Amino acid sequence: MARRIAFNIFAWSIVLMVAFPLFWMVVTSVKPQPELFRRPPTFLPEVWTFEHYAKLLFDTKFMTYFRNSVILSVSTTAIVIVIATIGAYSLVRFKYRGRESLAFLVLFTYLLPSVVLILPLYLMIVQLGMSNTIFSLVIAYTTFALPYALWLLRSFMQGIPEDLESAALVDGASRMGAFRDIILPQLLPGIISTALFTFILSWNEYLYALVLVNSDNARPLTTGVMNMLISSFNIEWSLLMAASVMMSVPLIIAFAFLQSYLTRGFGAGGMKG
Amino acid sequence: MADVVLTNLNKQFDSFTAVEDMNLSIEQGEFVSLLGPSGCGKTTTLRMLAGLEFCTSGEIRIGERVVNDVAPGERDIAMVFQSYALYPHMSVENNIAYPLKKRGVPKSERGAMVAKTAEMLHLTELLNRKPRQLSGGQQQRVALGRALVRDPKVFLLDEPLSNLDAKLRGYMRAELVQLHNRLGRTMVYVTHDQLEAMTMSNRIAIMEGGRLQQFAPPQDVYREPANRFVASFIGTPGMNLIDGELRQQGGTWWFEAPELKIEARGLGPSAQAGKVCLGIRPESITLGTGPYSGAVQLVEQTGHENIVAVNIGGDIRLTGRAPATVIPRFGETIQFSIDPDASHFFAAGPAGIRLNVPRSAESADKWNPAEAAVNLQEAQL
Amino acid sequence: MSRPKQSVLERQYSILGIMLIAPTVIVFCAVIVYPLVSAIYLSLFEIFTPTLEGEWVGLENYRTLLSKGEFWVALRTNLIWTVGTLTLQILFGVGMALVLHQNIWFRSLARSLILFPYFVSTVVAVLVWKWLFNDLYGIVNHLLMTAGLIDFPIDYLGTMPNAMISVILVGAWKYFPFVVIAVLARLQTIPDHLYEAARIDGAGPISRFFDITLPQLREVLVVIIMLRAIWDFKEFDLIFLLTGGGPVTSTQTLPLLVYKEAFKLNQMGMASAYAVLMMLIMLVFMLLYIRKTRSEEN
């Protein structure tokens, strides 16, 4: 019995150690600026303040960046999910020449360094006159999000018994009819998992945003925050932490709602490429 | 006119031939079982019939139409899957209504048709439940209901009872037979359980290795199996098979094996000396008295009778039936006799074509004596 | 043997299948295949990034970069980073998975908390750790000094070998949850009766781990190690944001080198050459990984 308690304490100490940086992030964001430079540092804030959040929201371009990130991530997710869902259906339930090679290709692109793709992509976007637009980012993000989404959805699709579709065909449905009536409802948890995963990938992307967008109008949060705050002479850590917390808010919300979906989705397709 | 005709049907998967040269002609209203061990090609054949698999070559005809290029939903068939394949996100009612919906039956009529089918299968109280809330037996009835509601020309059933427990299986077997009698529709039933096939079918199509072995009514398949495989597959406990030789002594033919010598009857004028295989069903062996003897190896008491395995020499065991009151002891020497009129003879070798003369004129045209003689010769080469 | 004639229906299905995968293929060709091929093409030019004007130089770029030390240094740095962070990710990942597999208090909460580093943006992770590592006000230095482990604050990101160690540690913290999830998923499929039988045979926890758990994990671990090795090798965001490749170039890995060449030194052509070489190096592992996953599927 004592062993069990000791083990529990041990386990939770590690969990708390891993989670500590994030806890510290939240704590720092609600401390007033002077308290930050207290030596020794205080663990919990003596004074709680939301002034940094206010400053972030009203005095900086943060909300612009936030808006851009939302548009960007939602658009990318929508496009990727549609393409990947029908693609996964095709890869799993249809037979045609080259199908296996395509699956192989998907696997391959999953592993490509974005730093390699970015160079010609940059050229292409500039030559098309699309640089500095959210649209260019959507295109770029689709690049790396699609293989992940496709692989995850393929995994989910393989988990749906083939008999269901067969029964629907015998019952008189066309293939797309069976897809709509039978497969999609079954695939819904998988689609939600994949959509969340894709959203998070897009929300967190940095390099493409760095290279392809220079103006604040189109900047998403990742480059926006780095740009806005590090460029000032005095690094305002409290503001940075507040920005970090706000950037992580959509993730936490998504997480809280659909925690089981995420781990399930990850387990199904995440590690097997 | 035949309702379902398979002509020269072949199915090839890459390097593996699942169905080879299948020819089958099913009469209207017939209950036909596709019977065989796993991997024999019976499910593949059924799926080709349904349109869920494409034929490598050959023709499938349903009614008057050649349906090779017709989508499954348009072949006027219904199918019950081994896994039931109920749509998990739909209620029982919507599951049963789905085929009607796909055919454009208006909502008002759908309700009535579904209700009628549900009543016939005792599903009326379950209409609003989801499949996962039902027991195995109930799910199976819903799958049946979904098939019945459309009143198709042909019913296809893929081992629908194999997921049920033994008692429920027996009950559902009877239900299906009654259903067939009432509806009078053609049914094609896939199973690996020979008891199911024997008790339910008008005719049984036995398959092995992708090929059709025999297509005949249950009694014919039991009493005159076309080859060694059919003989050993049908009947529980299985037929005893012993390899030996045919020899003529005086005017009679004898079967001789190191362990056993018995008069060989029923071979007809084309009998030839050489290697053969003898087949005796356990019920043709009478334990207790007789010219033969052996050591008791195994006694299985089933309650209403005892299955006794007797070692007659070497590794050869004969299985016979004894009344429940006769319980031999292990190792005990027991006498037994064999009914010579009930012996089957098969050509030596794995093909093992039946050599006996057919018992009735009807079965004569399903059995070719000349072919049997040729096979016997080939087997001896 | 010639292909047997397909029925009309079969062909219709095939066409539908092709149509459904077409959008994916188009996207792939446009934004993956084309850039890949272009990268090789671009590497044969000398291109000035801001204006995108260039001239043909053939293999000159490659000759230059292979003879310059910077490429090899970056490769070595990359390997150190990859091996370092991968080892930690695997060790912590497996360890944590084993812990989380047990029935501890509020297990699902613990699992969610462990996942956070992976799903948080790299930007956020970097900002937080920079704050933690701050020499004057960072909590890490404070804790270490209070514990008496160090006398003076440490500069975590500005000197070597600290910078590399810090980067490796942050990388491990960020990515080990991936290993945890993958291993945990596999652990949950190991049947309990294997352990019960071992316990009856008298095996203690350590030998149970080595004799039962580890062999069962072997397959998944190989795949995870390969995947994470590939992903760690090509990591850009984390290192770039944490140290920028510094101090000087001591944490400059190949991806950072490519970026620097293209956008700081404005040599797009040379950068492409670096990128192509990097790809070639990775190609071996990528093919190994693909072969392994495909054989497992079949």
Looking at chain B, the number of H-run helices and the number of E-run strands are: 10, 19
Would the CA dihedral through C216, C217, C223, C226 be positive or negative?
Answer: negative
Instruction: Return the closest-CA partner of residue B45 out of B156, B200, B120, B138.
Output: B156
* C9/B55 touch (CB, cutoff 8 Å), yes or no: no
**Cα first-last separation, chain B:** 43
Based on the domain organization, do C25 and C78 belong to the same domain? Answer: no
With 0-12 CB in 10 A as exposed, 13-18 as middle and 19+ as buried, what is B89?
middle
Give yes or no for B69 touching C (CB within 8 A).
yes
The pLDDT of residue B380 is 47
Residue whose pair of structure tokens reads 């398979």 in the numeric block: B6
Residue B25's φ and ψ, nearest 5 degrees, are -130, 110
- Report if residue C96 sits inside a domain: yes
- Report if residue C2 sits inside a domain: no
- Report if residue C191 sits inside a domain: yes
A81 — pLDDT class (breaks 50, 70, 90): very high
Considering B80-84, C44-48, C282-286, the range whose residues carry the highest mean pLDDT is B80-84
pLDDT per position as a tens digit, A16-58: 999 999 888 988 888 887 777 777 777 777 778 888 888 888 8
C245 — pLDDT class (breaks 50, 70, 90): confident
- Report if residue C62 sits inside a domain: no
The pLDDT of residue A267 is 43
Instruction: Return the closest-CA partner of residue B339 out of B271, B249, B279.
Output: B279
Q: How far does the CA of residue A108 sit from the closest CA of chain C (Å)?
A: 7
pLDDT higher at C83 or B379: C83
pLDDT, averaged across chain C = 86
Buried b (16+ CB within 10 A) or exposed e, B1-10: eebbbbeebb
Range of the domain at C175: 68-297
Q: How far apart are CA C238 and CA C235, in angstroms?
A: 7
Based on the domain organization, do C206 and C235 belong to the same domain? Answer: yes
Q: How far is CA C158 from CA A46, A128, A225, C247, in A?
A: 31, 41, 22, 6
On chain C, the residues whose CB falls within 8 A of the CB of B70 are: 9
Q: How far does the CA of residue A30 sit from the closest CA of chain C (Å)?
A: 14
B18-37 residues touching C, CB cutoff 8 A: none
Q: How far does the CA of residue A163 sit from the closest CA of chain B (Å)?
A: 6
Beta strands B333-338; B316-323: pairing state = unpaired
A264 — pLDDT class (breaks 50, 70, 90): low
* A104/C290 touch (CB, cutoff 8 Å), yes or no: yes
- Report if residue C148 sits inside a domain: yes
Neighbour count for residue A6 (Cβ, 10 Å): 10
Angle made by CA atoms B251, B254, B258, in degrees to the nearest 5: 150
Based on the domain organization, do C41 and C75 belong to the same domain? Answer: no
Buried b (16+ CB within 10 A) or exposed e, A165-197: bbbbbbbbbebeebbebbbeebbebbbbbbbbb
Based on the domain organization, do A23 and A79 belong to the same domain? Answer: no
Based on the domain organization, do C77 and C49 belong to the same domain? Answer: no
**DSSP code for B320:** E
CATH number of the domain at A198, please: 1.10.3720.10
Q: How far apart are CA A81 and CA A194, in angstroms?
A: 8
Based on the domain organization, do A124 and A86 belong to the same domain? Answer: yes
Based on the domain organization, do A146 and A94 belong to the same domain? Answer: yes
pLDDT per position as a tens digit, A208-250: 999 888 888 888 999 988 887 666 666 778 888 888 999 998 8
* B69/C8 touch (CB, cutoff 8 Å), yes or no: yes
The pLDDT of residue B117 is 92
Give yes or no for A185 touching B (CB within 8 A).
yes
Beta-bridged to residue B319, according to DSSP, are B309
pLDDT at A189 over 90: no
Q: How far does the CA of residue B97 sit from the closest CA of chain A (Å)?
A: 10
Q: How far does the CA of residue A155 sit from the closest CA of chain B (Å)?
A: 19
- In chain A, the number of structural domains is 2
Assess contact for B4 and B159: CB atoms under 8 A. Answer: no
* B87/A168 touch (CB, cutoff 8 Å), yes or no: yes
pLDDT at C173 over 80: yes
* A172/B73 touch (CB, cutoff 8 Å), yes or no: yes
Considering A226-240, B328-342, C65-79, C166-180, the range whose residues carry the highest mean pLDDT is C166-180
Tens of pLDDT along chain B (381 residues) come to 678 999 999 998 888 899 999 999 999 999 999 999 998 999 999 999 999 999 999 999 998 899 999 999 999 999 999 999 999 999 999 999 999 999 889 998 999 999 999 999 999 999 999 999 999 889 999 999 999 998 899 999 999 998 888 888 989 999 999 999 999 999 999 999 999 999 999 999 999 999 999 999 999 999 999 999 999 999 888 899 988 888 888 888 888 888 888 888 888 777 788 888 999 999 898 888 888 888 999 899 988 889 999 988 877 888 988 888 888 888 888 888 888 888 898 988 788 888 887 765 444 444 444 444 454 555 444
Chain center to CA of A37 = 34
B51-70 residues touching A, CB cutoff 8 A: 51-52
Tell me the residue type at C54. Answer: G
pLDDT at C253 over 70: yes
Tell me the residue type at B124. Answer: T
Based on the domain organization, do A37 and A130 belong to the same domain? Answer: no
Instruction: Return the closest-CA partner of residue C273 out of C258, C263, C260.
Output: C258
* B51/A186 touch (CB, cutoff 8 Å), yes or no: no
Residue A97's φ and ψ, nearest 5 degrees, are -65, 140
Assess contact for B189 and B157: CB atoms under 8 A. Answer: yes
Based on the domain organization, do A36 and A60 belong to the same domain? Answer: no
Give yes or no for B151 touching A (CB within 8 A).
no
The pLDDT of residue A265 is 45
Tell me the residue type at B63. Answer: G
- Report if residue C84 sits inside a domain: yes
Based on the domain organization, do A10 and A55 belong to the same domain? Answer: no
Tokens of A126: 């500039």
Assess contact for C97 and C179: CB atoms under 8 A. Answer: yes
Neighbors of chain A with 3 or more C-beta pairs under 8 Å: B, C
Based on the domain organization, do A128 and A225 belong to the same domain? Answer: yes
* B69/C6 touch (CB, cutoff 8 Å), yes or no: no
Neighbour count for residue C220 (Cβ, 10 Å): 19
Minimum Cα–Cα distance from C135: chain A residue: A37
Based on the domain organization, do C72 and C43 belong to the same domain? Answer: no
Based on the domain organization, do C151 and C194 belong to the same domain? Answer: yes
Minimum Cα–Cα distance from A164: chain B residue: B85
Minimum Cα–Cα distance from B55: chain C residue: C7
From the list C20, C35, C132, the residue facing A90 with the nearest CB is: C20
Based on the domain organization, do C31 and C77 belong to the same domain? Answer: no
C297 — pLDDT class (breaks 50, 70, 90): low
Q: State the maximum Cα–Cα separation within chain B, in Å, rounded to a whole number.
A: 81
Based on the domain organization, do A32 and A102 belong to the same domain? Answer: no
Assess contact for C276 and A119: CB atoms under 8 A. Answer: no
Q: How far does the CA of residue C289 sit from the closest CA of chain A (Å)?
A: 8
Based on the domain organization, do A16 and A131 belong to the same domain? Answer: no
Mean pLDDT computed over C182-200: 87
- Report if residue C32 sits inside a domain: yes
pLDDT per position as a tens digit, C260-275: 988 888 888 888 888 8
Neighbors of chain C with 3 or more C-beta pairs under 8 Å: A, B
Chain center to CA of A154 = 19
In three-state secondary structure terms, B31 is strand
With 0-12 CB in 10 A as exposed, 13-18 as middle and 19+ as buried, what is C98?
middle
On chain A, the residues whose CB falls within 8 A of the CB of C15 are: 96
Mean pLDDT computed over A87-106: 88
Neighbour count for residue B107 (Cβ, 10 Å): 9
pLDDT, averaged across chain A = 84
The pLDDT of residue C53 is 77
Q: How far apart are CA B358 and CA B372, in angstroms?
A: 12
- Report if residue C1 sits inside a domain: no
* A167/B81 touch (CB, cutoff 8 Å), yes or no: yes
Beta-bridged to residue B77, according to DSSP, are B154
For chain B, domains (ranges, CATH) are 2-224 (3.40.50.300), 229-380 (2.40.50.140)
Beta-bridged to residue B6, according to DSSP, are B24, B60
pLDDT per position as a tens digit, C17-27: 999 999 999 98
Mean pLDDT computed over A180-184: 94
Q: How far does the CA of residue A174 sit from the closest CA of chain B (Å)?
A: 8
* B54/C8 touch (CB, cutoff 8 Å), yes or no: no
Based on the domain organization, do A61 and A44 belong to the same domain? Answer: no
- Which of these three, A33, A49, A65, is where a domain ends? A49
pLDDT at C171 over 90: yes
Q: What is the dihedral of CA B223, B224, B230, B236, to 10 degrees?
A: 10
Assess contact for A194 and A156: CB atoms under 8 A. Answer: yes
Based on the domain organization, do C50 and C73 belong to the same domain? Answer: no
Based on the domain organization, do C48 and C94 belong to the same domain? Answer: no
Based on the domain organization, do C37 and C77 belong to the same domain? Answer: no
Residues A253-258: contacts with CB under 8 Å, at least 24 apart? A254/A196, A254/A199, A254/A200, A255/C112, A255/C115, A255/C116, A255/C119, A258/A192, A258/A193, A258/A196
Q: How far apart are CA B245 and CA B258, in angstroms?
A: 10
Radius of gyration of chain A measured on its C-alpha atoms: 23
Instruction: Return the closest-CA partner of residue B142 out of B101, B180, B96, B178.
Output: B96
The pLDDT of residue A257 is 65
Residue whose pair of structure tokens reads 């993730």 in the numeric block: A251
* Mutation target among C9, C31, C111 for the A interface, most CBs of A within 10 A: C31
Show Cβ contacts of residue A254 under 8 Å, excluding neighbours closer than 6 positions: A196, A199, A200
Q: What is the dihedral of CA C15, C20, C22, C25, to 10 degrees?
A: -130
Q: What is the dihedral of CA A181, A187, A189, A194, to 10 degrees?
A: -130
- In chain C, the number of structural domains is 2
Range of the domain at A10: 1-49
* Mutation target among A94, A171, A188 for the B interface, most CBs of B within 10 A: A171
Give yes or no for C283 touching A (CB within 8 A).
no
Based on the domain organization, do C125 and C164 belong to the same domain? Answer: yes
pLDDT per position as a tens digit, B256-305: 888 888 888 888 777 788 888 999 999 898 888 888 888 999 899 988 88
From the list C20, C123, C178, the residue facing A206 with the nearest CB is: C123
Q: State the maximum Cα–Cα separation within chain A, in Å, rounded to a whole number.
A: 75
Give yes or no for C27 touching A (CB within 8 A).
yes
Mean pLDDT computed over A147-176: 92
Question: Which ipTM did the prediction report?
Answer: 0.84
Angle made by CA atoms C23, C28, C31, in degrees to the nearest 5: 115
pTM listed for this prediction: 0.84
Beta strands B77-80; B154-158: pairing state = parallel
Based on the domain organization, do C40 and C76 belong to the same domain? Answer: no
Based on the domain organization, do A198 and A99 belong to the same domain? Answer: yes
Beta-bridged to residue B262, according to DSSP, are B255
Tokens of C260: 């620097």
Q: How far apart are CA A202 and CA B297, in angstroms?
A: 73
Tokens of C3: 């292909």
Tokens of A112: 């490509």
Assess contact for A204 and C123: CB atoms under 8 A. Answer: yes
Would the CA dihedral through A105, A110, A111, A113 be positive or negative?
Answer: positive
CATH number of the domain at C128, please: 1.10.3720.10
Based on the domain organization, do A104 and A145 belong to the same domain? Answer: yes
Mean pLDDT computed over C168-175: 94
From the list C4, C6, C9, the residue facing B71 with the nearest CB is: C9
On chain B, the residues whose CB falls within 8 A of the CB of C10 are: 54
pLDDT at A104 over 60: yes
